[in-house]
Amino acid sequence: MEIKELEHPICRLGECPVWDEVNNCFYWSDILFGKIFRFSLLSEKVDIIYETERQIGGLLLSEDCRLILFTDRDVRKLTLGTKKVEVIYQMNFETGERFNDAIADSAGRLWAGTMDATFSKGKLYRFESGKAPAIVLENLGITNGMGFSGDGRTFYHTDSIPGTITRYEYNIQTGEIAHGTLFYKMDEQDGCPDGMELDAEDNIWTACWGGGQIMKLSSSGEILERIPIPAKQPSSLAFGNDQILVTTAAKEADKLTTGYNNNGEFVGGKSYILTK
């Protein structure tokens, strides 16, 4: 694959990439700095389109082309043209807790995970119109990448602390998950699993935080491909227009303006477009 580095300010924690087919662009957030970036495939330029004092730990695109933001305080909708913000769920988080990754199912339910400062009390929430947020999983380390199989009958969930991806049976009519089984446990030398995406063949693509790569896994858990990324901390990925956007983080960098540590290693903070 051809890998192209995008020109933009270093992201402390680049994450949550989503594809906007209507406007032919990718969005992603710098979680800790509360910024939303946009990369247009037409102009091939990156812009910062929104900034807030809140940490943006999850990002989704609604059917009416508004962005849904999962922050350290609430879930809100952002109208891009006017920058109007509408809070749709107010959360009662404990100190140090925030959202970390989100996904929507084919029935329109929203799923979002959280993490806390102890890396032991993370939760997975399900949001449905007209209902209070439901806690589906508890006592997670860092709840992270999620995905649904093409037939909607399987749900995948990542917990980055034990380095595991768990597979659940999914009931699309009720939104219930059941019978969780270990799908994949990542070797320490490969990093830990972070954001994920499923392709049309139900292969699982996962960003390997600390491993400098993304991995393509079959639906049976076999490693099909490893794609090196020129940064130590790939954090997530998204498909769009036959390309893949990969976000990375400079969380362990000594100099945030460059993304390098004192050993001269590029930790991350840039984003990349992968093209076959």
Q: Is 194 in the active site?
A: yes
Average pLDDT (125-154) is 96
Using 50, 70 and 90 to split pLDDT, how confident is the model at 252? confident
Using 50, 70 and 90 to split pLDDT, how confident is the model at 188? very high
Average pLDDT (253-264) is 88
Among residues of the chain, what percentage have pLDDT more than 70? 100
Average pLDDT (229-250) is 97
What is the reported pLDDT for 211?
97
Tell me which of 74, 190, 194, 202 is the catalytic residue.
194
Query: Hey, what domains does the chain have and what are their CATH numbers?
Result: 2-275 (2.120.10.30)
Q: How far apart are CA 123 and CA 23, in angstroms?
A: 33
Q: How far apart are CA 93 and CA 99, in angstroms?
A: 9
Mean pLDDT of the chain: 96
Residue 118 reports pLDDT greater than 90: yes
Q: How far apart are CA 58 and CA 127, in angstroms?
A: 13
Average pLDDT (157-183) is 98
Residue 276 reports pLDDT greater than 90: no
Average pLDDT (16-24) is 96
Report CA Rg, the chain: 17
Residue with tokens 């995406």: 197
What is the reported pLDDT for 254?
81
What is the reported pLDDT for 65?
86
Among residues of the chain, what percentage have pLDDT more than 90? 92
* pLDDT tens-digit map of 80-108: 888 999 999 999 998 889 999 999 999 99
Does the reported pTM lie above 0.95?
yes
